[in-house]
Amino acid sequence: MVLAAAAGLVALTAAVTGLDPAEASVLASDPAATRLQRDTDAIRALGVTGVQARVTSSDGRHAVATSGVADRVTRRPVPSDGRFRIASTRKAFEAAVVLQLVGEHRLSLDDTVERWLPGVVRGNGYDGRWITVRQLLQNTSGLHDDLPGYTSPEEYVQQRDDVHTREQLLARALEHPLDFRPGRGWAYSNTGFLVAAMIVERVTGRSLQQEITERIVRPLGLHHTTWPGTSSTLPRPHARGYELFAPGDLVDVTEQVSWDPDSLVSSTRDLDRFFRALLGGGLLRPAQLAEMTRTVPVSADVAQVWPGGRYGLGLVHRRLPCGGGYWSHDGGDGGYVTVTGVTPDGRRSAVVSMSAALGDSVEHHLQQQRAADRLVQNALCRA
């Protein structure tokens, strides 16, 4: 009778969460996994259409939870291995490649932009002779952001198929004054990472996509991590992505071309494996990992999103409520929001993918971020 009841609980869990039976059995018997499900449901309760979360404990066990639906029309369940656009979480991949090149003595963090891209960052107060590779990856370059983006359903329809090159995006940014003198401030700069990608390609003679694939994706067996290029669709399985533009105005924005020419699609499983390998020393030599984790304070506006946050090279350091800290890099673009966390030894990790962005107000955006942060921090404190 007890065994029958346990089997029924596993079957019910699998039906509700969309997990396979093996993963569902872990969820049914593990208190940490039960807490994970509650935290996942709490995100969905805010109005997020679908949530999938994956946690790896220090003993290597995995717990997976999903909540909500993958499609508001069909009401199909959220896939536990669904693909999604990871947006700025990709910056950790790019920074890791740059630091591998540093470890190979092919470039230096103190090299200037001008050395590798002569004349590319010039004019309107910009001078590549005074901007270093370190500053690009640390968001201390002063390079301004002027990115494409939509703020209404109408703009989404108008812009969803637009294709942008790095050169076009850099030209847009250089039309604005420097945010500050290089090294004299901190401001989140997608433009800085676009320039860093151009440097990687100049140093190696190969595309950033090739370098990330050969150095990270293939060695780690990240089979769900792909480059969408100019495709507006996602590989299956995936939840559909939604954007809340205004109260009651939740719009399906799944089909679109990312503004970022280096955008990546991945899964919680692959991101979990990547971050654990990165912090666990599987991708970088100790000297380069030490450089990656040397941090500076973030700006006051970004500190609202990452309280107490400090930025390294493509990584963010956050405090844990149970003591100590963790490393992460979140991302959000086009209806998909990713929040991550990994302990400094790389043994414990948590990844959350949300297939709706509550962008109708700063308050709702922060509520979504806080709920995802709680899931990550609870998991890391207990895993």
Query: Phi and psi of 335, rounded to 5°?
Result: 85, -5
Active site (annotated) includes residue 353: no
H/E run at residue 29:
helix 21-29
Q: Angle 190-204/166-174 helices, nearest 10 degrees? A: 130
- Segments making up each domain of the chain, as ranges: 84-382
pTM of the model: 0.92
Residues ≥6 apart with Cβ < 8 Å to 78: 17, 18, 50, 51, 52, 66, 67, 68, 69, 70, 239, 355
pLDDT of 132: 98
Q: How far apart are CA 316 and CA 359, in angstroms?
A: 22
Task: pLDDT tens for the chain, 383 residues: list them.
Answer: 222 222 222 222 333 344 444 445 444 557 878 999 999 999 999 999 999 999 999 999 999 999 999 999 999 999 999 999 999 999 999 999 999 999 999 999 999 999 999 999 999 999 999 999 999 999 999 999 999 989 999 999 999 999 999 999 999 999 999 999 999 999 999 999 999 999 999 999 999 999 999 999 999 999 999 999 999 999 999 999 999 999 888 999 999 999 999 999 999 999 999 999 999 999 999 999 999 999 999 999 999 999 999 999 999 999 999 999 999 999 998 899 999 999 999 999 999 999 999 999 999 999 999 999 999 999 999 86
The pairing of strands 242-244 and 356-358 is: parallel
Q: Quick one: DSSP state of residue 267?
A: -
Rg (the chain; Cα; Å): 21
Contacts 24+ apart (CB under 8 A), 320-324: 320/377, 320/380, 320/381, 321/377, 321/381, 322/377, 322/381
End-to-end alpha carbon distance in the chain = 31
pLDDT of 248: 85
Query: Phi and psi of 159, rounded to 5°?
Result: -110, -5
pLDDT of 334: 85
pLDDT of 249: 84
* Centroid of chain to Cα 254: 17
3-state SS of 274-310 is HHHHHHCCCCCCHHHHHHHCCCEECCHHHHCCCCCCE
pLDDT of 29: 57
Query: Phi and psi of 342, rounded to 5°?
Result: -145, 140
pLDDT of 383: 60
Q: How far apart are CA 350 and CA 372, in angstroms?
A: 10
* CATH of 84-382 given 3.40.710.10, 3.40.50.300, 3.40.630.10, 3.40.50.970: 3.40.710.10
Which position among 25, 67, 88, 267 bears the catalytic label?
88
b/e code 218-253 from CB counts within 10 Å (16+ = b): eebebebbbbbeeeeebeebbbbbbbbbeeeebbbb
Instruction: Report in angstroms the alpha-carbon separations of 382 from 36, 65, 120.
Output: 10, 16, 48
